[in-house]
Amino acid sequence: MKTIRFNNQESSVKVTIEINGIELWRYTYKADKRFDISAELKKASSHELGIAKNLEDDIHYWRIFLGNHSDVDKKVNITITWLESNNEIAKWIPCEAGPDGKVLVKANSDIEISDSSRFVKS
């Protein structure tokens, strides 16, 4: 579980999720709201999470599905960034990522990556 520390009780917090290097993907991000996004829609998605003071002690969950239906392995860049008043307060890269920061998806296979975070005041 990743700890997300925010500074200002009244500031706006959003999350940006980027997935690059593969054509078939989908994610679900669950907070007070639920966001379901797939590759057909866009490559990077930003979601408003709300005012920081309303997020304190919230637990957020996400699941990312990657599908490689080609005959070659693919390296996928996955990044989740949390912003408070448009300033980065935390970044997540999956523990499945290699030293280059990318997740390997073998040819003709699918994988699922999931994790969670908790919001706390600095």
- pLDDT tens-place string over residues 4-33: 999 988 999 999 999 999 989 999 999 878
Residue type, 50: G
The structure's pTM equals 0.91
DSSP codes of every residue in 92-119: E--TT--TTSEEEE-TTEEEEEEEEEEE
- Domains of the chain by start residue, with CATH: 2-121 (2.60.60)
Using one digit for the tens of pLDDT, what is the confidence trace for 53-64?
999 999 999 999
Q: How far apart are CA 104 and CA 44, in angstroms?
A: 19
Using one digit for the tens of pLDDT, what is the confidence trace for 67-122?
999 999 999 999 999 999 999 999 999 999 999 999 999 999 999 999 999 999 98
Q: Looking at residue 100, what is its pLDDT?
A: 95
